[in-house]
């Protein structure tokens, strides 16, 4: 699944004006380096439509017929031919039959007549318009009304949702609830999707203790493996959890080799900064290919991207920083889109919207920042955003309290209260 170019070549060619500086790469350049390096999976499987939820379509879905298949009523009421209606004053029409959803009128509707019709019932030949039952005075065999009639009103036309031969969903589409229904409405029971990615993940650090064990002095519980698990679980992947690996080169080599032989992608946390115990970068150099390991981003400056080879198999590696918020920010910023791309998705970037900052925010140009915030509304009903207290890279509570990131771009300086800022909502993202 690797590109033919090496990562250093790719990183160099991304932006000819910028010097390739692996010591601190701008977020946009890092993103395009990753994008150019990944080759999406090709293998396809056929699934029943329910099982395709959250998967990526590997084929175009083409409508085999019109939906709806026939003109039908949008209201409970009476159907007639608009040519039979008086231009002004009142119109009286005889009721000569009825049509129900799934039980159409047999026969036709004569001139000057109407039929009782229910929502979803086929509109028979010879009539083009429906009036809602609330708008008429009716007795057992006729109706009278004075409303101005627009020909065609309250009639849903054949093919107005989907027409025969139309591409309904494109290859690369991420299947959501509406799509299951849309495909079902075409009578299609199975669809082709790309196979699931196999993704392994582990935490590194001698200080990490697993849940259920007692904390010794200087130790902390491993939380990143849980946030990473949660974020990955949103993406419909086959997951392999390799647990906590100590800061020992031999343990790390062995885990990397096992993971790379089995998986498409490896995600680690910790061990990518310049501390003496930070071996991930070194091992990536030995066993694979290294793209970058430092970014102009906050939080998340140390982050490694590259690949690891083992038993003739290569896996993409994301070495996320250990600080819990930095782990989540870099996952959101790089890993999520990369996994979608590798899985064949044609839309990988989450939507960015804007809100008014309630307070000033300090920001240095020269790095992209992701601050945790809460989206709300001011008294005019306009969207506003306020940061969730302390923004330290280790303060995971700032993520739990927040419902969005405020994204401050590379060139951006300080934000004044009242300025519009970019935000990305967490919902559906993390």
Residues that bind ligand AMP in the complex, under the rule CB under 6 A: 203, 205, 207-208, 220, 222-225, 269-273, 275, 321-324
Contact 337, 354 (CB under 8 A): no
Q: Six-digit token pair at 430?
A: 């993390």
Q: Which does 319 bind (CB under 5 to 8 A by kind): ligand AMP, Mg ion, none?
A: none
Q: Which does 222 bind (CB under 5 to 8 A by kind): ligand AMP, Mg ion, none?
A: ligand AMP
Smallest separation, CB 197 to Mg ion (Å): 26
Contact 365, 414 (CB under 8 A): no
Smallest separation, CB 264 to ligand AMP (Å): 22
Smallest separation, CB 208 to ligand AMP (Å): 5
Smallest separation, CB 365 to ligand AMP (Å): 25
- Give the H or E element holding residue 227: helix 224-233
Q: Given CA atoms 213, 217, 223, 224 in this order, what sign does their dihedral have?
A: negative
Q: CA–CA separation, 358 vs 418, rounded Å?
A: 6
Q: CA–CA separation, 238 vs 240, rounded Å?
A: 7
Q: CA–CA separation, 307 vs 94, rounded Å?
A: 77
**Which one of the spans 8-16, 135-143, 270-278, 348-356 is the region binding Mg ion (CB under 5 A)?**
270-278
Residue number, 222 or 264, with CB nearest to Mg ion: 222
Residue number, 275 or 418, with CB nearest to ligand AMP: 275
Smallest separation, CB 254 to ligand AMP (Å): 19
Q: Which does 203 bind (CB under 5 to 8 A by kind): Mg ion, ligand AMP, none?
A: ligand AMP
Residue number, 306 or 321, with CB nearest to ligand AMP: 321
Q: CA–CA separation, 182 vs 360, rounded Å?
A: 46
Residue number, 52 or 327, with CB nearest to Mg ion: 327
**Which one of the spans 188-196, 200-208, 280-288, 295-303 is the region binding Mg ion (CB under 5 A)?**
200-208
Select the residue interacting with Mg ion from 172, 270, 288, 324 (CB under 5 A).
270
Contact 403, 374 (CB under 8 A): yes
Q: Which does 124 bind (CB under 5 to 8 A by kind): ligand AMP, Mg ion, none?
A: none
Q: Which does 207 bind (CB under 5 to 8 A by kind): ligand AMP, Mg ion, none?
A: ligand AMP
Q: Which does 288 bind (CB under 5 to 8 A by kind): Mg ion, ligand AMP, none?
A: none
Q: Which does 300 bind (CB under 5 to 8 A by kind): Mg ion, ligand AMP, none?
A: none
Contacts of residue 356, defined as CB under 8 A and 6 or more positions apart, other chains included, come to 378, 382, 383, 384, 385, 418, 419, 420, 421
DSSP type of residue 134: G
Contact 352, 424 (CB under 8 A): yes
Residue number, 322 or 324, with CB nearest to Mg ion: 322
Smallest separation, CB 399 to ligand AMP (Å): 13
Residues in 303-332 at the binding interface with Mg ion, rule: CB under 5 A: 322
Smallest separation, CB 256 to Mg ion (Å): 16
Which segments of 343-412 are extended strands (E)? Answer: 353-357, 368-377, 383-387, 404-408
The burial class, CB within 10 Å (0-12 / 13-18 / 19+), for 323 is buried
Please give the full DSSP string across 299-330, using - where no structure is assigned: S--EEEEEEEEETTEEEEEEEE-SSHHHHHHH
Smallest separation, CB 271 to Mg ion (Å): 5
Kindly state the number of chain residues that form the binding site for Mg ion, as judged by CB under 5 A. 4
Tell me the H-state helices in 150-219: 177-184
Contact 346, 173 (CB under 8 A): yes
Smallest separation, CB 392 to ligand AMP (Å): 11
Residues in 49-88 at the binding interface with Mg ion, rule: CB under 5 A: none
Q: Given CA atoms 349, 350, 354, 357 in this order, what sign does their dihedral have?
A: negative
Residue number, 81 or 391, with CB nearest to ligand AMP: 391
Which residue of this chain has its Cβ atom nearest to ligand AMP in the complex? 322
Q: CA–CA separation, 281 vs 310, rounded Å?
A: 16
Smallest separation, CB 345 to Mg ion (Å): 32
Select the residue interacting with Mg ion from 77, 124, 172, 205 (CB under 5 A).
205
Residue number, 329 or 361, with CB nearest to Mg ion: 329
- Residues in touch with Mg ion (CB under 5 A): 205, 270-271, 322
């Amino acid at each position: 699944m690797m590109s033919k170019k090496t990562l250093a070549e790719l990183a160099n060619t991304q932006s000819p004006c910028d010097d390739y500086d692996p010591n601190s790469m701008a977020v946009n350049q890092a993103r395009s380096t990753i994008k150019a390096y990944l080759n999406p999976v090709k293998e396809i499987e056929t699934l029943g439509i329910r099982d395709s939820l959250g998967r990526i379509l590997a084929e175009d879905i083409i409508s085999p017929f019109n939906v709806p298949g026939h003109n039908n009523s949008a209201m409970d009421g009476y159907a007639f031919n608009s040519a039979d209606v008086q231009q002004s004053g009142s119109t009286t029409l005889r009721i000569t039959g009825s049509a129900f959803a799934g039980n159409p009128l047999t026969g036709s509707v004569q001139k000057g007549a109407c039929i009782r019709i229910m929502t979803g019932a086929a509109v028979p030949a010879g009539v083009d318009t429906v009036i809602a039952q609330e708008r008429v005075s009716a007795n057992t065999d006729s109706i009278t009304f004075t409303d101005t009639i627009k020909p065609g009103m309250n009639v849903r036309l054949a093919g107005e949702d989907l027409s025969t031969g139309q591409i309904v969903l494109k290859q690369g589409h991420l299947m959501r609830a509406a799509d299951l229904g849309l495909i079902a409405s075409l009578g299609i029971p199975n669809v082709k999707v790309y196979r699931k990615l196999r993704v392994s993940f582990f935490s590194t650090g001698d200080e990490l203790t697993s849940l259920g064990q007692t904390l010794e002095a200087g130790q902390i519980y491993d939380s990143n493996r849980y946030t990473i698990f949660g974020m990955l679980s949103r993406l419909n992947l086959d997951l392999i959890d390799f647990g906590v690996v100590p800061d020992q080169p031999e343990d790390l080599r062995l885990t990397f080799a096992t993971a790379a032989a089995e998986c498409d992608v490896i995600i680690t946390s910790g061990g990518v900064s310049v501390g003496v115990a930070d071996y991930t970068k070194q091992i990536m150099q030995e066993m694979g290919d290294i793209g970058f390991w430092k970014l102009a981003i906050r939080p998340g400056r140390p982050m490694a991207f590259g690949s690891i080879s083992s038993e003739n198999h290569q896996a993409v590696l994301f070495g996320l920083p250990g600080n819990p918020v930095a782990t989540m920010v870099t996952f959101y910023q790089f890993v999520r889109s990369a996994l979608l791309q590798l899985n064949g998705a044609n839309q990988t970037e989450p939507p960015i919207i804007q809100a008014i900052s309630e307070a000033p925010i300090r920001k240095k140009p020269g790095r992209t920042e992701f601050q945790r915030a809460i989206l709300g509304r001011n008294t005019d009903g306009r969207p506003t955003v306020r940061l969730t207290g302390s923004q330290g890279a280790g303060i995971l509570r700032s993520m739990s309290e927040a419902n969005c990131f405020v994204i401050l771009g590379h060139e951006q300086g300080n934000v004044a209260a009242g300025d519009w800022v970019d935000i990305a909502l967490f919902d559906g993202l993390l």
